[in-house]
Structure 1
Amino acid sequence: MTTLLVASTGGHLAELYDLKPRLGLGDDCVWATFDSPQSRSLLDGHEVIHVPPATTRDALGTLRDLLAARRVLRGGRFTRVVSTGASVAMSFFVPASRHGLACHYIESATRTAGPSLTGRLVSRVPRTRLYTQHLDWADDRWRYGGTVFDGYQASRRVTPRPVSRIVVALGTHGRFGFPRLLARLVEVVPPEAEVLWQVGATRIPRMPAGARPHVPYAEMQQAMREADVVVTHAGVGSALAAMRAGHRAVFVPRRRSHREHVDDHQVELARQLDRRQLVRHREADAVTVEDLAEAASWTVAATGAVAPFEWTELA
């Protein structure tokens, strides 16, 4: 039974990659995602089908992916499709359903109050099973399966660490910058600190020296492992990357009112993870050097006891 794993790059791909061992799928899997430094590094050694990239609310990109999905599914190799989104899920689920394949959609952990636009659309596709990572809005249609953050636990360090090496990760979305946070960090980061600045599309008049739009996935992971503190926008992929590297990141949500994203889904995620002490939630205009020191005094580790994700095959 060959499974096709479908996800956009970024947080969606990071979630599906981390959830896969908990799905019990075995090794007979193929990935379909966009061609990016993240996907090439993360999926090295796996069979990968690259499909055209589609960004947020990108109708043309979604159509290109639909055409690609038809070609991929035409040979009858796959028996089911599993996706964490975003729009590429819809592109694959429509032809997959018509071919009689089981479709499983796991809504992103960022969606704390209800499904995303993609989730609402795929819920109308026949032969689709729906899963949420938040028990609060589970119902007869959306089954709670667990969360990608299960199995991580934070604790205070016995000996506090000085803040001498910092990783700043603002995401790589091409449409949305985060100038409020970058401008604030330029003000508060100690001048003697060694900083890796990954700024994506963000531009401000006073750009920090060495700022880079993109940092290769492997390099970012290594930098996070060696850092004293990580500061990141409140995306799932960034949170997971920081946790895997042992950090309770300073986690700053983008705000729709500042045109930093299409909605405020990052805000509630930041609050929830802060309540679990897995991140230190701060607003962009309020980050301080004390926040950096406090985050550096914590560590995050995998507990090693993670329950399988609860999902079911179609009857």
Structure 2
Amino acid sequence: MTTLLVASAGGHLAELHQLVPRLGVQDDCVWATFDSPQSRSLLAGEEVIHVPPVRTRDAVGALRDWLAARRVLRGGRFGRVVSTGAAVALSFFVPAARRGLTCHYIESATRIAGPSLTGRMVARVPRAQLYTQHAGWADERWRYGGSIFDGYLARPAAAPGPVSRIVVALGTQARFGFPRLLSRLVEVLPAEAEILWQVGSTRIPRLPAGARDQVPHAEMAQAMREADVVVTHAGVGSALAAMRAGRRAIVVPRRRAHGEHVDDHQVELAHGLDRRGLVLAREADAISAADLTEAASWRIDHAGDVGPFRWTG
């Protein structure tokens, strides 16, 4: 049975990519996602169908993806659809369900307290199978299958040195910048440090030299492995990438009150990961040089095989 894997570029794609081996579908699958430096790098060598990008709460973009989904599903090649969101999931699930395909929706790990808007809408699709990555809000409809953060553990670094290499990753959201964080980092990061600046759509008057909107996945992963410190917004893809690189990142949540996101789910994620010791959660206007030293004093290990994701696939 060929599985169609559907996800928006960014954190949703990063989550699904990490979960695929635990789903056991990697030997017969096709990806449907947006064309971006991240997706081209992360999915190199995979069969990929590029679909139009859709932004957060973008009805027109969702309609374009619905039309694309109808074309993709028309040939009868696929037996099921699996998605971690966001809006592109609904665009594919509606025509897939009409064709009798089983649709599996794995809610993002950012949703600690309950489902997202997409999750609530997908729950209305007939026969959709729903999964949460947080046992605390699992119920009869939303089953707990495990988490992308399973198996990660923080430990003190053997011999932390001076902070000389830093990665700043603010995500790739086209609609939402994060000028509060970028302005603070320009002030507090050591001038002599070697810094990779991935700023997305964020613009400030003193934009750092060499700032880039997007960085390919492979390049970012290598930079994080070589860095002493990673500072990132509380996007699940960026936080996960830092952990995979062995870094206990300084994670800063975007705030809805400042127009940095549609809600405060990043606040929940940042503090949830901080409680597990996997990140240092800080507010944008409170990051200090001491936080850089603290972050560099820890490493993140991974247990390796953490078992399959518990789903009905």
Alignment of 1:179-258 (within 5 A): 179-258=179-258
Match of 2:29 in 1: 29
Work out whether residues 250 and 281 of structure 2, in 8 Å CA contact, stay in contact via their aligned partners in 1.
yes
> 2: distance between equivalents of 1:40 and 1:7?
13
Offset of residue 157 of structure 1: 0.7
Q: For residue 131 of structure 2, what is the aligned residue in structure 1?
A: 131
Letter of the aligned partner of 1:306 in structure 2?
V
Correspondences of 1:1-315 after superposition (within 5 Å):
1-313=1-313
- Rounded Cα–Cα distance in structure 2 between residues aligned with 1:301 and 1:20: 20
CA positional deviation for 1:217? 1.8
**AA of the residue aligned to 2:292:** L
Q: Distance in 2 between matches of 1:21 and 1:305?
A: 10
RMSD: 0.8
SS at match of 2:143: strand
Q: Percent identity at matched positions? A: 77
CA distance in structure 2 between the partners assigned to 1:20 and 1:214 by the alignment: 24
CA contact (8 A) 2:38 2:215 kept: no
1:40-61 deviation digits (Å, cap 9, x = unpaired): 1111111111111101011111
CA distance in 1, matches of 2:123, 2:141: 9
* 1:182, distance to aligned residue in structure 2 (A): 0.6
Unaligned runs of 5+ in 1: none
2:237 alignment partner, SS class: helix
SS in 1 for 2:232: strand
- Tell me the distance in 1 between the aligned counterparts of 2:148 and 2:292: 25
TM-score by length of 1: 0.98
Partner Cα distance (1:161, 1:6) in 2: 42
Amino acid at match of 2:168: V
| CA–CA distance in structure 2, aligned partners of residues 146 and 44 of structure 1 | 26
Encode CA deviations 1:69-114: one digit per residue, 9 max, x unaligned.
0001011100100000000000000000000000000000001111
Task: Please list every run of 5 or more consecutive structure 2 residues that lacks an aligned counterpart in the other structure.
Answer: none
TM-score by length of 2: 0.99
Alignment partner of 1:284: what SS?
Answer: coil
- Once the 2 structures are TM-superposed, how far is the Cα of residue 161 of structure 1 from its aligned partner? 2.4
- Paired residue secondary structure (1:286): coil
Offset of residue 219 of structure 1: 1.4
Query: Per the alignment, in what secondary structure is the counterpart of residue 84 of structure 1?
Result: strand
Measured in 2, the distance between the counterparts of 1:24 and 1:208 equals 43
In structure 2, C-alpha distance between the alignment counterparts of 1:115 and 1:140, rounded to whole Å: 14
SS at match of 2:78: coil
Aligned to 1:79, the other structure's residue is in SS state: strand
**Paired amino acid for 1:247:** R
What CA distance in whole angstroms lies between the structure 1 residues aligned with 2:90 and 2:150?
27
Shift of 1:26: 4.1
Output the CA distance in 2 between the equivalents of 1:209 and 1:158: 33
- 1:154 partner amino acid: A
State the alpha-carbon separation in 2 of the partners of residues 212 and 23 from structure 1. Answer: 34
C-alpha distance after superposition, 1:111-143 (max 9, x if no partner): 111110100001000020000001111000000
Offset of residue 25 of structure 1: 1.6
Could you tell me how far 1:152 is from its partner in structure 2? 1.1
Equivalents in 1 of 2:158, 2:116: separation in Å? 41
Q: CA deviation at 1:307?
A: 2.0
Matched residues in 2 for 1:101 and 1:215: separation? Answer: 35
The CA distance in 1 between the partners of 2:41 and 2:211, in whole Å, is 21
| 3-state SS, counterpart of residue 186 of structure 1 | helix
Aligned length: 313
Other structure's SS at 1:5 match: strand
How far apart, CA to CA, are the structure 1 residues paired with 2:161 and 2:120? Answer: 45
Q: Is the 8 A contact 2:280 2:295 kept in 1?
A: yes
